[in-house]
Amino acid sequence: MTFAERMLKIDRRIIFLVIGLCTLLPLLYPVGLPIKISPEVRSVYDYMEALPERSVFLLSIDFDPASKPELHPQAIALLRHAFRKNLRVVSMTLWVSGTGMADQLLTQVAKEMGKENGKDYVFLGWSPGGTAVIINMGQDLYTAFPSDYGGRPTKGIPVLEGVHSLKDVNYAISLGAGNPGVEAWYVFGKDKYRFELGGGCTGVIAPGLYPLLRSGQINGLIGGLRGAAEYESLIGQKARAVAGMDAQSATHVAIIVLVIICNVFYFNLRRVPRQQGHGTS
């Protein structure tokens, strides 16, 4: 077996070790490379920034703990920005497995920013029906969610004063890790009830949402951990996402190097039989 063949059949545990080290070391020894802000993340930030105080901001936390590393920092940065701007935050989820996590993160950020449940924010929780919940909210918010996550009747909650349906929402953002997510909010929500919509998603589904972005169906997109890091930089509160960017940088470069090495050995192997063929003829 030649060296190239041996390298192509390298024990995968060595690759796991390289990736493990590339993730761990930058987290222990951060470098803090500058993060360039993309136009799609800036659009979300600018829109939030332009909203007047006490505007209604709907954050739909449409992910479960599996996507927490990428979408949790996005949610935290958006909530910090919304609370700092004194917006009325209405939060919910379309993913039943994300309910507890969504409640925890909203409570945590609200506490940090000194906001009061019911007065400054409300967590509506989860309601069955998938995308039908969006249409129902568009028709009548109180039918879709007769009570909030804590069991309190939604009618009469101060933060929802003057809010009857999605038509009364000034800006909505869906942080989606799949379906139902950003696309569902556009198809069943924004298209009919005419509110402005932004999106946040995991890195792997971001390319699929670019057509919505380019056509103006969503006004901005926060993609993956990189998007979260950009948003943290914009609000001036660098946190987990910015810290994670060094690890992501190292792993991306490691994978690129591995792919290049594998191709070098692959072409080397292809070249050898050809040369042998020429030699024998």
Partner 1 sequence: MITGLLFAGQYYVPHPASEQLLTSVTKWLQIIGGFALVLGVTSLFHQHAVKIRRKEAGWGYSLVLYAGMLGTIAVGFWANGKESVDGAMTAFGWVYSFMMVPLQGTMFAILAFFIASAAYRSFRARSREAAVLLIAAIIVMMGRVPLGEYLIPLSGDVSQWILNVLNASVRRAILIGVSLGAIALSFKIIFGVERSYLGGGKE
Tell me the number of residues near partner 1 by CB under 8 A. Answer: 68
Return d(Cα 198, Cα 196) in angstroms, integer: 7
- Closer residue to partner 1 (CB): 31 or 279: 31
DSSP state of 2: -
- Closer residue to partner 1 (CB): 10 or 50: 10
133 binds partner 1 (CB under 8 A): yes
Q: How far is the CB of 136 from partner 1 (least distance, A)?
A: 4
Q: Which of 253, 271, 272, 276 binds partner 1 (CB under 8 A)?
A: 253
- Longest CA span, the chain: 90
Return d(Cα 172, Cα 193) in angstroms, integer: 12
> Considering only residues 158-217, where is the footprint of partner 1 by CB under 8 A?
192, 203, 206-208, 210-211, 213-215
Q: Which of 257, 258, 227 is nearest to 245 (CA)?
A: 227
- CB neighbours (10 Å) of residue 66? 13
Q: Which of these ranges, 33-41, 53-61, 84-92, 153-161, lies near partner 1 under the rule CB under 8 A?
A: 33-41
- Closer residue to partner 1 (CB): 88 or 103: 103
33 binds partner 1 (CB under 8 A): yes
Q: In what order do the strands lie in the sheet with 121-126?
A: 121-126, 88-93, 56-62, 171-176, 196-201, 221-223
Q: How far is the CB of 119 from partner 1 (least distance, A)?
A: 19
The CA distances from residue 177 to 71, 85, 123, 125, in Å, are 8, 26, 19, 17
Q: How far is the CB of 53 from partner 1 (least distance, A)?
A: 30
Return d(Cα 184, Cα 201) in angstroms, integer: 13
Residues contacting residue 13 through CB under 8 Å, at least 6 positions apart: none
266 binds partner 1 (CB under 8 A): yes
Give the interface with partner 1 as residue ranges (CB under 8 A): 8, 10, 12, 15-16, 18-20, 23, 33-36, 38, 64-69, 97, 100-101, 103-104, 127-130, 132-133, 135-136, 139-140, 143-144, 192, 203, 206-208, 210-211, 213-215, 224, 226, 245-246, 248-256, 258-263, 266-267
